[in-house]
């Protein structure tokens, strides 16, 4: 174990494992090479025929489009991107010994900590790759949306690294309640517009109907896509989750975790991540899932979503649009319907109506188990984590922590030495209003409405 800067002092076991910089992965792992079934084709929103690379070229650089459909198992990471990864990667794998003690569990709880990235979450892993490929193809401007602000911050940093202008549509309620996320983006030179806005037809149409609309991720996507579609080819669009190439870029998380666990001599019985669009979960899970698919390992994979936005546990596996206005291609995924409006819970990054097609497919095939929790129980778990492990987690990550704790308690009840691994996707330093609300007892566990779901599902496109 000499490669680790553990904390052994003769009294305690090592519990923090950091691989040397040379172990930053050289390739991304593409699970499409190992899928049990072929993914459903992506369809054009108007013709409803399978899209080809040219249909997507308006939105994305060709390198990302090719990664979207690639069947190569390992895709090389460009040196320029890997060099920037090395500013904070490999990220630590930590055994949560203090949390284990507090729970009095025989389980070993490990977490992969993405909190130390410059943007405070895993999202910079793909932002850098996407900015790089855009630059390579001569693109100088990228439009995008951001909900809670984490994706916008990550892309703002990546854009600055590769000298690309970043144009962010930020969901209005977050713009107003999270001014410092906006300041972060502006510090790195990004333009930030509250959405819905007067800058686009999509935004103006919403404001005409409801001038006080506080926005949604689906609307902000429509605005960003419209800016790109009307830019005369000058700007491209970038998405922080959901798509295959985004999940691909996040697989460095799981590869590093696998590398470190092999050196420790442990292997997870269960791998856990929170899911909004599915990228941090997939990033950690897919390199381990490869072992299930190709080497007969039996690890369980648990994807944790909010009970108020339960695309995996309540949404059908069906074709739907990625945005509210219906401008994006149609993808087959677990969805609540593209005009579903989730309750205003504090895990903003988990309030998306759909789910990554690759995660959806693997839930449908039984390789991934979904689970849903209300937000109060997640904050309770997050605070126990903060007060034992010291790091204050993002509200999104609290969902993964809740599930990890429940696994550890279940192992205790059954007297099992279970090895649990979860992704600590980000820190919560910009989310203190949410913690305030929890501590004051003002956090609502909003009821999920089956009528509202039935209504939004009625607008799903009918695909023959």
Ligand X SMILES: *Cc1c(COP(=O)(O)O)cnc(C)c1O
Smallest gap from residue 334 Cβ to ligand X (A): 13
Tell whether residue 152 is a contact of ligand X (CB under 6 A): no
Smallest gap from residue 110 Cβ to ligand X (A): 18
Tell whether residue 315 is a contact of ligand X (CB under 6 A): no
Listed in sequence order, the residues at least 6 apart from 180 whose beta carbon sits closer than 8 Å to its beta carbon are 430
Tell whether residue 334 is a contact of ligand X (CB under 6 A): no
Interface residues for ligand X in 55-84 (CB under 6 A)? none
CA gap 255, 388 in Å, rounded: 27
Q: Which residue has the tokens 């504090």?
A: 346
For residue 387, give the H/E element and its range: helix 375-389
Report the residue number, 143 or 155, with the smaller CB distance to ligand X. 155
The region of 3-11, 229-237, 389-397, 410-418 touching ligand X under the rule CB under 6 A is 389-397
Among 105, 121, 130, 391, binds ligand X (CB under 6 A): 121
CA gap 126, 132 in Å, rounded: 10
Tell whether residue 278 is a contact of ligand X (CB under 6 A): yes
Listed in sequence order, the residues at least 6 apart from 351 whose beta carbon sits closer than 8 Å to its beta carbon are 147, 216, 217, 276, 306, 309, 342, 345
The region of 74-82, 164-172, 393-401, 450-458 touching ligand X under the rule CB under 6 A is 393-401
Q: For residue 7, count other CB atoms closer than 10 A to its CB.
A: 12
Tell whether residue 391 is a contact of ligand X (CB under 6 A): no
**Residue of this chain nearest to ligand X (CB atom):** 426
Smallest gap from residue 167 Cβ to ligand X (A): 19
CB of 415 within 8 A of CB of 267?
no
SS3 state of residue 56: helix
Listed in sequence order, the residues at least 6 apart from 138 whose beta carbon sits closer than 8 Å to its beta carbon are none
CA gap 426, 356 in Å, rounded: 19
Among 94, 224, 275, 372, binds ligand X (CB under 6 A): 275
Tell whether residue 274 is a contact of ligand X (CB under 6 A): yes
SS3 state of residue 113: strand
Smallest gap from residue 424 Cβ to ligand X (A): 9
- Mask 222-241, x = binds ligand X (CB under 6 A)? -------------------x
**CA distances from residue 124 to 93, 120, 423 in whole angstroms, order as listed:** 18, 9, 15
Report the residue number, 105 or 273, with the smaller CB distance to ligand X. 273
Binding-site size for ligand X (CB under 6 A) equals: 19
Report the residue number, 90 or 277, with the smaller CB distance to ligand X. 277
Q: Report the interface residues with ligand X, using CB under 6 A.
A: 121, 123, 150, 241, 274-281, 349-350, 394, 396-397, 425-426
């Amino acid at each position: 174990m000499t490669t680790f800067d553990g904390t052994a002092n003769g009294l305690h076991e090592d519990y923090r494992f950091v691989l040397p910089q040379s172990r930053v992965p050289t390739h991304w792992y593409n699970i499409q090479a190992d899928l049990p079934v072929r993914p459903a084709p992506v369809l054009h929103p108007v013709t409803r025929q399978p899209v080809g690379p040219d249909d997507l070229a308006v939105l994305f650089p060709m390198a990302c489009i090719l990664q979207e459909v690639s069947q190569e198992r390992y895709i090389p990471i460009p040196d320029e991107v890997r060099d920037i990864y090395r500013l904070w990667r490999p990220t630590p794998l930590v055994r949560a010994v203090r949390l284990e003690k507090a729970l009095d569990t025989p389980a070993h709880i490990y977490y992969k900590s993405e909190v130390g990235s410059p943007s405070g979450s895993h999202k910079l892993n793909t932002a850098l790759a996407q900015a790089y490929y855009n630059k390579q193809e001569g693109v100088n401007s990228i439009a995008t949306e951001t909900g809670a602000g984490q994706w916008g911050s990550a892309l703002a940093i990546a854009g600055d690294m590769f000298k690309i202008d970043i144009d962010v549509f930020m969901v209005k309620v977050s713009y107003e309640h999270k001014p410092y996320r906006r300041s972060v983006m502006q510090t790195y030179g990004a333009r930030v517009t509250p959405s819905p806005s007067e800058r686009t037809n999509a935004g103006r149409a919403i404001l005409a109907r409801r001038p006080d609309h506080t926005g949604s991720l689906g609307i902000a996507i429509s605005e960003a896509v419209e800016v790109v579609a009307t830019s005369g080819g000058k700007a491209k669009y970038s998405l922080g989750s959901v798509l295959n190439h985004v999940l691909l870029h996040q697989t460095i998380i799981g590869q590093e975790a696998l590398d470190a666990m092999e050196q420790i001599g442990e292997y997870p019985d269960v791998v856990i991540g929170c899911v909004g669009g599915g990228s941090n979960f997939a990033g950690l899970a897919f390199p381990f899932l490869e072992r299930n698919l190709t080497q007969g390992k039996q690890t369980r994979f648990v994807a944790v979503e909010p009970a108020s936005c339960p695309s995996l546990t309540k949404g059908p596996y069906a074709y739907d649009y990625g945005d509210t206005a219906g401008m994006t291609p149609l993808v087959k995924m677990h969805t609540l319907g593209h005009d579903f409006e989730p309750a205003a819970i504090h895990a903003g990054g988990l309030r998306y109506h759909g789910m990554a097609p690759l995660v959806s497919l693997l839930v449908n095939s039984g390789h991934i188990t979904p689970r849903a929790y209300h937000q109060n129980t997640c904050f309770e778990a997050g605070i126990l984590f903060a007060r034992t492990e010291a790091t204050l987690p993002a509200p999104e990550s609290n969902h993964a922590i809740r599930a990890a704790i429940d696994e550890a308690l279940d192992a205790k009840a059954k007297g099992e030495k279970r090895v649990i691994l979860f992704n600590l996707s980000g820190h919560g330093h910009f989310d203190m209003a949410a913690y305030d609300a929890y501590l004051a007892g003002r956090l609502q566990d909003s009821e999920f409405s089956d009528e509202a779901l039935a209504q939004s599902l009625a607008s799903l496109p009918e695909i023959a």
